[in-house]
Structure 1
Amino acid sequence: MSEQHQGSCLCGQVHYSVSGEFDSFYLCYCRHCQKDSGSAHAANLFSSQAKLTWLSGEALVRTYQLPNSRHVKSFCQHCGSALPAQLEGLLQVPAGSLDSELILRPRAKIFMASAAKWRKELKEVPSYQQLPDDLDT
């Protein structure tokens, strides 16, 4: 039986389905992924055979490919959420855009030479289940 996943953007105007298995799952720490995620890394799933189907909002999806690179990002033009992208026969799905449960775990952290220095100290940062009451603003 083929895997089936659903996903959407933050504003809910774009919904998609992916039919098929993911080949890999990477946490990418390259500078390009830091810039387009606004974080320490991007979390992307890849598949050479899965099929992407836009269920709603396909007209809102925009894709940017960094010139002279394989770096591509699709996003909702309304809310900016990262969405699946196709590049050279490879489907890239931002893991955080999935609404369905993902049991696959990251295979590796890649481009660690470009990793932000502050990410090394994250184990020492306190964790909360929700926004803390004493949030410094």
Structure 2
Amino acid sequence: MRNEYKGSCLCGEISFSVNSFAKKVANCHCSMCRKFHGAAYATLVGVSGLKWLSGFHCLNEFVAPNGTVRTFCGECGSSIGFRVKGAPLNEIELAIATFDVDIPIQVDAHIYTDFKSNWCELQDDLPKFKAGREA
């Protein structure tokens, strides 16, 4: 049996399914993620087996000055995901809050903490990286 995890945007116009998740899942505190998600940080996860079930025509993109791409719903504005510069849509990291079901992931780090909001206190034992994950 194959796993299927479904998600959608706020208005439900965009829906998708995936069948697995990357092992590394971080809370990103960079200013672009904070602004795009309207929150202290964004939590995104790489996926495989992505299928757009509906609303593909509603996907819109914002390309930041550094070339990264933020994808959102053109109807309701929901943040859908993030791609590094030059990555195709099938390599999108999806916002975990868009999933409509429980997903088998565990956040394992905070990244770009040098850019976190002063009002956001990190009170957990997760590793904290000043920029991206360090080797």
**Which residue matches 1:120?**
121
**Which residue matches 1:31?**
31
Q: How many corresponding residue pairs?
A: 120
Secondary structure of the residue that 2:62 maps to in structure 1?
strand
CA contact (8 A) 1:26 1:106 kept: yes
State the distance in 1 between where 2:93 and 2:69 align. Answer: 9
Task: Give the alignment of 1:37-76 within 5 angstroms.
Answer: 37-47=37-47, 50-69=48-67, 71-76=68-73
Unaligned stretches of 5+ residues in structure 2:
125-135
Once the two structures are TM-superposed, the CA of residue 22 in structure 1 deviates from its matched residue by: 2.1
Unaligned stretches of 5+ residues in structure 1:
124-137
Question: Which one has the largest radius of gyration?
Answer: 1
1:22-44 C-alpha deviation (Å, 9 max, x unpaired): 23211000111111111110010
State the distance in 2 between where 1:86 and 1:3 align. Answer: 24
TM-score normalised by length of structure 2 = 0.78
Secondary structure of the residue that 2:121 maps to in structure 1?
helix
CA gap of 1:28–1:22, structure 2 versus 1, over 3 A, is: same
CA contact (8 A) 1:30 1:112 kept: yes
Once superposed, what is the RMSD of the aligned Cα atoms? Answer: 2.2
- Aligned-residue identity in percent: 28
TM-score normalised by length of structure 1 = 0.77
CA contact (8 A) 1:2 1:21 kept: no
**Which residue matches 1:77?**
74
CA contact (8 A) 1:8 1:98 kept: yes
Q: Which runs of 4+ in 1 moved over 3 A?
A: 84-87
AA paired with 1:78?
Answer: E
